[in-house]
Amino acid sequence: MRILAIDYGSRQMGLALADDKIRIATPYRILPAKEEDAFFIELKKIIFQEKVEKIIIGRPVSLLSKETTQTEKTDFFIKTIKEKIKLPIVIVDERLTSKMADKLLFDNQTENHAIAASIILQNYLSRTSGENSRSKIDVKD
> pLDDT tens digits, residue range 72-95?
999 999 999 999 999 999 998 876
User: Is the pLDDT higher at 34 or at 129?
Assistant: 34
Average pLDDT of the chain, as a whole number: 81
Between the alpha carbon of residue 121 and those of residues 9, 35, 69, the distances in Å are: 16, 25, 23
pTM of the model: 0.75
Q: Residues 91, 78: contact at Cβ < 8 Å?
A: yes
pLDDT for 137 equals 42
> pLDDT tens digits, residue range 21-30?
888 888 899 9
Q: Of 28-32, 123-127, 130-134, which has the strongest mean pLDDT?
A: 28-32
pLDDT for 111 equals 62
Q: Residues 121, 56: contact at Cβ < 8 Å?
A: yes
CATH homologous superfamily for 2-140? YqgF/RNase H-like domain (3.30.420.140)
Q: Who contacts 53 (Cβ-Cβ below 8 Å, separation ≥6)?
A: 1, 2, 3, 87, 88
pLDDT at 110 over 60: no
What are the residue ranges spanned by the domains of the chain? 2-140
> pLDDT tens digits, residue range 43-72?
999 999 999 999 999 888 776 778 888 889
pLDDT at 2 over 90: yes
β-bridge pairing 89-93 and 52-59: parallel
